[in-house]
Structure 1
Amino acid sequence: MKFHMIAGGPKPVAPFSHAVETDGFVFVTGQMPDTPDAPGQLPDGIEAQTRAVMENLRLVLAGLDLGFENVVMARIYLTRFKQDYAAMNATYRSYFAEGRLPARTCVGVTGLAYDALIEIDLVCRRPARH
């Protein structure tokens, strides 16, 4: 098992690794909508926060030599589910190729770190080396 911390990656808000890898699967810790340059500072609105989360996930994936095409499962947590679900979906969908959407769970929660509106974690599969 490998425990990954990505240099220049998002600042952890709790004791965790950015990702843990085992048997070809990579489990990416849920990312928040802040940036490595401004921890704890969040953009306004669900579209901007969704983009920020996805960019943090892109940064972690890139540090592992992976991309969104390697995502097999996403879990999304929203604090304002009814209000933000449609707008979040439109932004989220733009990060994946047409017809290549990962399996997904999306749930409403009562709170997230930094009072964020969204958090997303991923399960990825590393391509087999031939």
Structure 2
Amino acid sequence: MAADSKTFIFTPDAVPPLPAFSQAVVSGGRVYASGNIGCDKNFKIVEGGVQAQTRAALENLSIVLKASGSGLEHIVKANVYLVNMPVNFTLMNEIYLQFFDKDKMPARTCVGVIALPMGADVEIECVAEVAAQ
């Protein structure tokens, strides 16, 4: 695959990416979205704990996917990184489930981690299909 077959996504509507990565990359009919934490455009973690952060992360991910020609409904695989798994797993899932059709849930892995950037409680990344034109 040639290097020019990748499209690097940037949308000013979403939380800006740090200099070390892109919001997403489209290649081979798939969108590879970088991890999203629950923060605002000024990189301030939203208040309200893991549930508010999960909502903010998924809302930002949705914006990035839309800019990539996709959407949450086209996610094939999601990865969730969660601080304090015993406490936060059920709380995160309560919000996560609100964003997807219960009969069409993407494949998902949830990993407990020691820490996330900026003290976040949750980070979500995904691979999605580009929507049919």
Same fold (TM over 0.5): yes
Secondary structure of the 2:43 match is coil
Find 1:35's aligned residue among 36, 40, 57.
40
Residue of structure 1 in register with 2:3 after alignment = none
For 1:61, the aligned partner's letter is: L
Secondary structure of the 1:41 match is coil
- Shift of residue 51, structure 1, vs aligned partner: 0.5
Residue of structure 1 in register with 2:20 after alignment = 15
Q: How many residues matched? A: 128
**Contact map agreement 1:78 1:119 (CA 8 A) in 2:** yes
For residues 19 and 119 of structure 2, what CA distance do their matches in structure 1 show? 14
- Shift of residue 127, structure 1, vs aligned partner: 3.1
For residues 42 and 114 of structure 1, what CA distance do their matches in structure 2 show? 11
**Contact map agreement 2:78 2:125 (CA 8 A) in 1:** yes
Residue of structure 2 in register with 1:126 after alignment = 130
Alignment RMSD (CA, Å): 1.3
For residues 46 and 18 of structure 2, what CA distance do their matches in structure 1 show? 13
For 1:105, the aligned partner's letter is: T
Gaps of 5+ in 2: 1-5
Q: 1:41 to 1:84 in 2, by over 3 A?
A: closer
For residues 86 and 14 of structure 2, what CA distance do their matches in structure 1 show? 31
- Shift of residue 62, structure 1, vs aligned partner: 1.9
Residue of structure 1 in register with 2:7 after alignment = 2
**TM-score, normalised by the number of residues in structure 2:** 0.89
Q: What does 1:43-82 align with in structure 2 at a 5 Å threshold?
A: 43-82=47-86
Structure 1 position 116 matched with structure 2 position 116: no
Deviations 1:28-53 (A, max 9, x none): 000010022x3233323111111111
- Shift of residue 14, structure 1, vs aligned partner: 4.8
Residue of structure 2 in register with 1:86 after alignment = 90
